[in-house]
Chain A
């Protein structure tokens, strides 16, 4: 068995030394955190300061970027620009802090979070495998390979209660068990990193901040089900995530943590990256596999499920990024530990991307079962600009909008389903009174319509018809019967579409109809949009009337 400790001494020693962590995830990089890092490095050299500047992954509070954290125990600086570099480095030497840049350490944003998936985000350099090893990385895999049989791994995952983080919440242990039992000389493991929901950037952040965690989870999965080859299907729109995955795979192969006879055992596992090409439907597992095979990403009916017949007809284990990211900690710390976090049927934590009309936009990880109110008003810091909360959208184009009266709902798979939305991959978009719910429904329908792959009629034709009806309503030319037709179409498309895209497409309409029906009626009967978003036309264009 490979002794990992020889790689980790330097990285471990470094953790007790004074250092400055600069966030190098996409949000902060867009705000020029790379220039901040360069400026800090220059200042350290110029002042001869005894501190190390380190580029790290996402710290979560994207709204206050660029972020710089003083480690081991110092403050977090927000909105840092390169001009502040001299002052920050000087404060390291004098053991003081730059008060004007300090983010309040008592803030609920950090206090209420529980980090498993994001435990290393913002703490380690994602392009340095030694950093990951120093915080216990690959120990889960080594433990599994040396002490557990594949069946024991499956049992451990089952006992942890982990469920699919892609949104549907299928029990992960059950899925692993099915693939493990499937017969066949060749099996595959796939990581679904085709994060397509607008307003969702959890997976990207995990890949950019801690890519090895995903590789380790996949390797453990491969051992459990008996696969020797894996694919990560990642969006081409995430160049930084792709680059960091490439670096991570190379480093892991070099240390024999991926490849042939991993850690001196008989287990071999290789991972390849496949780039997506901008098709939302490829988030659906059968469409994703078609895309890996170089074809158009159209889904096919299930069964057979990928567990029996997946990639190139072989049994295939396919999980989402965040699901794999939970696996290594479960192996390292035990199923009981994981199962002790979260709610009754939804164990562990969930990562959410907070966006929209909310003070703390960014990435959070909270235990399952926390209420929407706690997430939005405590962790998220509430609605800025004295505006009123109106609704929160979860689940992307297949999800729904939840109104204020349900803010005390705990966030778990079952509770969200009851409200007509679903967990989804973790995008949470908060809206205030300046958003029109009919317009939001129209926005999502436009999305589903243009992302429909065209294979099945209900989705291809139904989404276009529903979009047309919503357009009529938001243009002020709809008649009462249009609403009836819309509801009927929702029912048909939801129940007869081939895959999740079509089945979910009516949800934004159904949920807004359920909670904000008066807004639809206001548009239709009074030709009035209370939010002032929809431009009502009194003159009706020819082509729409006919």
Chain B
């Protein structure tokens, strides 16, 4: 009997669903490919919404609870749309003892945003990293795709001022 699993039509005409479909096809629509597929979906759409989770769950024949469970278990997966720019403050041990907390507080206060959230105008998402592995640059942070180090709160606020005035960067796929 031909394998018809995963032949589910995508939720919309959006061409990005083809990328998601390609990952599932490459993995033979196996339930094991759930995390791989969610990675592709997030790369394509920027975050994972209900429509995506429902579609991926039924195409891979896993219960929706498992898809949702996986998406919420891993910190890397985002369930909310992100701002046009992102600032990721490293909270690794080396950065922590060199004042990463002060940087984070400065951004939270200046932009009235909590860690993990996006500003009301949708311009900036504030995120934290467990460790960027750039400990020689402590304290370090990533501004969109650029990693900068040996930062002070003032430098960070200045950098964010310039960053939020710019256009959103092109997304670069890694896998």
A-to-B contact residues, CB < 8 Å: 26-27, 29-31, 62-63, 65, 195-201, 204, 236-239, 242-243, 246, 273-280, 291-297, 353, 355-357, 361-362, 393, 427, 429, 431, 434-435, 440, 443-444, 447, 451, 453
Contact = CB atoms under 8 A, between A and B. Distances in A.
B85 interface: no
Contacts, number: 139
A471 to B, nearest CB: 14
B135 A355 contact: yes
Contact of A435 (B36, B75, B97): B97
Interface in B145-169: 147-149
A239 B70 contact: no
Interface stretch (B8-16, B106-114, B117-125, B126-134): B126-134
Contacts of A31: 137, 149
Contacts of A63: 136
Given A279-B75, A295-B66, A198 B131 contact: yes
A356 B94 contact: yes
B2 interface: no
Interface of B: 30-36, 38-39, 62, 66, 69-70, 73-77, 91-94, 96-98, 129-138, 140, 147-149, 174-175
B76, B92, B97, most chain A CB atoms within 10 A: B97
Contact of A204 (B93, B96, B133): B133
Given A204-B133, A443-B96, A30 B147 contact: yes
A291 B93 contact: no
A62 B136 contact: yes
B39 A440 contact: no
B73 A27 contact: no
Contacts of B34: 294-295
Nearest to A393: B93
A273 B97 CA distance: 34
Given A275-B175, A356-B93, A443-B96, A197 B74 contact: no
Contacts of A356: 93-94, 97-98, 135, 138
A50 B135 CA distance: 36
A65 B133 CA distance: 15
Given A279-B73, A353-B133, A427-B93, 12 more contacts: A29-B147, A31-B149, A201-B135, A237-B133, A243-B174, A275-B36, A275-B175, A277-B38, A296-B73, A355-B136, A356-B138, A362-B136
Contact of B39 (A275, A357, A443, A447): A275
A237 B132 contact: yes
Given A26-B134, A30-B140, A30-B147, A199 B75 contact: no
A367 B94 CA distance: 24
B39 A236 contact: yes
